[in-house]
Structures are given as structure tokens and as C-alpha cells.
Amino acid sequence: MFALVDVNNMYVSCERVFRPALNGKPVVVLSNNDGACIARSNEAKDLGVKMAQPWFEVKHLERSAGLIALSANFELYGDMSSRMMVLASRYAPRQEIYSIDECFLDFEGVPGDLAAIGRELRRQVLQWVGLPTSIGFGPTKTLAKLANHVAKTADRKPGTYPQRLAQVCDFGALRSEELDDVMRRTDVGDIWGVGRKTAPKLHDAGIRTVLDLKRADAAILGRQFSVVMQKTVRELQGTPCLEVEDDPPAQQQIMCSRSFGNPVTALPDLIEVVSGFATRVARRLREQQGACNAVHVFITTSPYRTRDPQHSPTATLPLPRPTADTRTLVNAAVTALRGIHKPGYPYAKAGVMLVELQSDKQEQTSLHLFDEPEEVQPDGRRDLMATLDALNERFGRDAVGIASAVKRSARSTHASRQERRSPRYTTRLDEVIVARA
Amino acid sequence: MLRERGTASASTPRSRVAISFGSPAGESGVTRLDLNEILIRNPQAAFLVRIAGAAMREAGIDDGDLALIDRALDAGHGQVVIAVHQNEFLCRRLCTRGEALGLQATDPEVPDVWAGEADTFDIWGVVTHVVKQVSG
């Protein structure tokens, strides 16, 4: 069995741990440069705020409905994420960190009542870290993800699913007709592996619910749509097609991680590895015309070498602006690595994850060209990186130093466009919470 | 158990340190005392909070001190806690009187807070240690 553990409204939940006054209020967290809503509290969802909706479209709700907007505080979210991930990893033999707020756990060979284990994990994360989670168990990753959707939706909207499936939902404990009922209540657009563009096409083909999709012919849909679709159908039918640590089908985040053949201890070696990972994820980011807002780096010693000293630090470095620039991303990853590496520990695994992806079109509209005269864009549709690459090719490698330019601009733009950022409560001593005595 | 996947990087890292000698203590084989290990039992539940005010002085907690919080601990009678009261963080001693839960300052002039219908509070975490700057 697999479990998918994820934090409800992660960024908003992190803010609420340190600002209790935000509880029960409509809250959104804005992307870099305060451009778009990248996280919403349930109350904000109820106001109709959509995911990735531009801030200017909902700004009027500040006055009319008390909507509270905060600038993204990735340093805080990254630290809270690593706390949650470490706790979750202790419950199963294998963990795949899938994004900043979700991970898969592989419970293969674990006996006992999984739902009870899930409830204990949920309770512990809530008490220790303060974050509310939803947990779904299923025999495949797609089913675990669906179970997670059920757990979360049943909690948020009573009546959508049986109430006993709220918060922690174990498909393994359902009879087949109960599982069919859950699938009948779920639109195909709500499951993993079915994109926003694919859902209407499935609807046109008469496949409206997840149950319809499960009963479809995987091979035919595979030919009609894609290999991903074929895998999705097989997974819904209970045949695992995706292993833990497999690449996720949808590129909602980009990660590169690997276990080493032999432990790596020296910083220069780790820098080489992490730089390689960052280079690779940057390329993948540009392939999908994306840009990211923060870089998350982790290194970990082997939990299986119990006699070795253990060290599993992570760091998240927010970027001054969304980017897909290899040099910026490598620079950020190495900076993060230097901050967390401790000499002497035999690290067994490392990873680089790009956090909070958006399309590079968004990036271009949020660029304030007048602030950055050195970064001229003759054509708003052209890829920024391609433009700069071309400039560099034409005028020599140092003509436009992107990494250094971003660094220089970091201080000036960071402050001015993150006006609503809360303190970095867990990573800066002068920003910890204050208690009255 | 641990497997490689993909074409992860251009170089395969090779450790120059033999596994059995991979201790952070280096050659001596002895690990230097580390305050993190001494003071923090549950790193994932550990948070720092700055104290503002003098209402807990008799408990050894002064204005400007840095309190170390362990959210993994269940708060009990007599323990110093960080509580959330009216959306504000308060450092107080937790009191139980039968079923009733209350927050008390060591300064008798400061009124108690008792959880009830009119007023309530949440425990945010248990204070385990206090760091105070003595000089420097």
C-alpha cells in the first residue's frame, strides 16, 4: 500500500502556526512580486479566489470581505516542510518527497491498521509542527492520491463523501462497491494524471467520473490520449505502474534526487552533485516553458546505516524573481547546500527541487522592465533565457551576467515587492515569535 | 535498497572517506558537546520564542530571554507554556484545578486566564529551557 500525505493549504497553514489571528479568516499567499495567489485558505476558496489567480483581480476582496494577502515566505515554508517530511518518513520503510507539501510513503510489508497509523501520523504532525494534513492510502500511487483527495474534500465539504473518510482515508479498508461509490462521486478532472485540457476531452468521450475511467479500456485510451492516460487507468484498476521515486506524470514540480552508490562526505563533491542536479532541473524547467520561485535542496545520511551519525538537513532559498536560468538556479542550490552541509557526515542521498512553478509567460508579465534597464526584452513573447543566451553568444560570455545581475537586483527588488511577507520565524533569530510575559 | 534512477548527474560521486571512519568527530573518534543535542530532544518540534515582559520573573524568565519550546510534549500542571490567548502569544504557567485549565503569571498583580465559556486559550508549546544573555 502507498500513502499520500499532504499539508492542507500548506503556505497558509504555515503562516497560521505563527499568526493565530489568521485562523478562520480568508487568507491568500502571493507569488514572488506579489503577482498571483499561490495558496488559499478554505475561507478564501469559499470567496471564489481561484488558484494562480492574479492578485489585482481579487484585490477588491481586501476591503469588501476582509481577504488577507501575504507575500510568499519560502524560507519558512521550506523549514516547516522539512519538519513534516522527517516525521512522515518515520512511519514507512520508504518515502518519496513529491513536492514541498506532499510525500508518498510505501507501506509494503507493514502490518496493522493503516488508517490508525495514518491518524497517528496526522496527530503527530499537527501537534509537533502545527500543520494539518490529509492522508490517503491506496494500492497504487494514483489511488493513494485519489484517497487523499477524498480525505481532504470530505473534511472540507461535509456531504461530498462519507464522513468517516475525512482526514485519513484508507481505500484498502473499503468494500469494492464502496470504492466504486467514491469513484462515482469524483469527476475525472480531479485525479492525478488528468490535466485541465484532458478532462473536457474525456467528458466528450462519455467518461465523466473516475468510475467511468476505471471501467474504460486502458489500451484504447492509451492510443487515444497518451501513455500517461493508459498508466492512470491501470493504476485506478489497482495495477501499480508507478513506483516510489518514479518521476511523477504531471510536471507540477521538478525534482532531481538520487541515492549515491557510496556515501559522499566532502563539500566539493556534494557541490558537484548538486550543481549537476540543478543544471538538469533547470533544463527541464525551460523545456516546459516554466519558471520557479524557490530552490529546495536536501542532503541526507542513510537511515539504514544506523551506526553512522545521522544528518538530514534541508534548505529552501527563495529567488528574487521567478526564473529558469541555469546559473541562478545552480547558484541558489549551491548557496543552500553550503548552508546545511556539515563536515564529516557520510551523505547517502541528495536532491534539488524547484518550488512553486509557473509559466515563463507569467514571469514576463510580472517583470518590471523599468527597474532593470540592463535586461532588455525586445519581444515580450520571447523566452527571457533565450534572449539572454543570444546576447551572451553575440557579445561574449560576460556581456550579460545573469546570475550576478539577479544577485545585484535581489536586494532592491526583494524588499519592494514582498511587502506583505511575514517574519521568517524559524530560520532568523531576530524574527522569531514574541510571547508576552 | 537504495537505488539509482535516471541519468542524475554528469559525475558519479566517489567518497574518499571509508564508511566505517565517516564520523563527524574526525580522527579522535570523540564528538564535541553540542548544545543542540543536549537541549533539543525533538528537533522537528523545537521552536524559539522571544520573551517580552517581566510577569514570569519568579520562574526565572526575564524580559528579552529566548525560550526553547518543545511542541512534542503534552503540557501538564505547573509547566511553563507558550499559549495563544486572544490571538496573542503568552508565556505563563499552566494550572489545572479539577477540570478547569488556567494560565498564571508568577507576578501576583497579573490576572489569571481561565478557560471557560467567556474566554479560552490554546497551548502552543511547552517551554523546556531559557537562554539568557549574561554578558557579551
Residue B7 lies in a domain: no
Of the partner residues A84, A272, A435, the one whose CB lies closest to the CB of residue B13: A272
Average pLDDT for B92-114: 95
- The CA dihedral of A35, A40, A46, A51, to the nearest 10 degrees, is 50
Task: Name chain B contacts of A128, Cβ cutoff 8 Å.
Answer: 42, 44-45, 71-72
Contact A434 B61 (CB under 8 A): no
CATH number reported for the structural domain that contains residue B49 in this entry: 2.10.109.10
d(CA A113, CA A61): 45
Distance from CA of B15 to the nearest CA of A (A): 5
Residue B113 lies in a domain: yes
In CATH, which of 3.40.630.30, 3.40.50.1370, 3.40.1390.20, 3.30.70.270 is domain A1-139?
Answer: 3.30.70.270
pLDDT in tens, B46-86: 999 999 999 999 999 999 999 999 999 999 999 999 999 99
Of the partner residues B8, B9, B24, the one whose CB lies closest to the CB of residue A309: B24
Residue B26 lies in a domain: no
CB B104 within 8 A of CB B112: yes
What is the residue-averaged pLDDT of chain A? 84
Residue B74 lies in a domain: yes
Residue B20 lies in a domain: no
pLDDT of the residue at B29:
67
Establish if A346 touches chain B: CB-CB under 8 angstroms.
Answer: yes
Which residue intervals of A237-287 are DSSP H helices?
267-287
Window 252-271 of A: residues touching B by CB (8 A cutoff) are 256-266, 269-270
Q: Which domain holds residue B110?
A: 43-131
Contact A258 B6 (CB under 8 A): yes
Contact B4 A128 (CB under 8 A): no
Contact B8 A433 (CB under 8 A): no
pLDDT in tens, A76-119: 999 999 999 999 999 998 898 888 999 999 999 888 899 999 99
Domain-wise residue ranges, chain A: 1-139, 254-426
d(CA A252, CA A357): 7
Contact B66 A426 (CB under 8 A): no
Contacts of A117 (CB under 8 A, 6+ apart): A91, A107, A110
Looking at per-residue pLDDT, the higher value among A224 and B93 belongs to: B93
Residue B37 lies in a domain: no
Domains contained in chain B, number: 1
pLDDT band at A378 (very low <50, low <70, confident <90, very high): very low
Contact B17 A432 (CB under 8 A): no
Establish if A120 touches chain B: CB-CB under 8 angstroms.
Answer: no
What's the first-to-final CA gap in chain B, in angstroms?
50
Give buried/exposed letters for A371-396 (b at 16+ CB in 10 A, else e).
ebeebeeeeeeebbbebbeeeeeeee
Task: Name chain A contacts of B4, Cβ cutoff 8 Å.
Answer: 258-259, 261
d(CA B72, CA A86): 14
State the amino acid at position A163 in one-letter form: Q
Establish if A284 touches chain B: CB-CB under 8 angstroms.
Answer: no
pLDDT in tens, A229-265: 999 999 999 999 887 654 444 456 788 888 887 888 8
Establish if A333 touches chain B: CB-CB under 8 angstroms.
Answer: no
CATH class of A254-426: alpha beta
CB B66 within 8 A of CB B49: yes
With CA atoms as reference, the chain A residue closest to B71 would be A128
Contact A434 B51 (CB under 8 A): yes
CB A347 within 8 A of CB A299: yes
Give the least confident one: A291-300, A335-344, A360-369, B107-116.
A360-369
Task: Name chain A contacts of B88, Cβ cutoff 8 Å.
Answer: 20, 436
ipTM for the predicted complex comes to 0.81
Residue B119 lies in a domain: yes
Residue B22 lies in a domain: no
Give how far Cα A410 sits from Cα of A74, A136, A236, A371, A417, Å.
Answer: 15, 40, 46, 12, 11
Q: Assess whether pLDDT exceeds 90 at residue A163.
A: yes
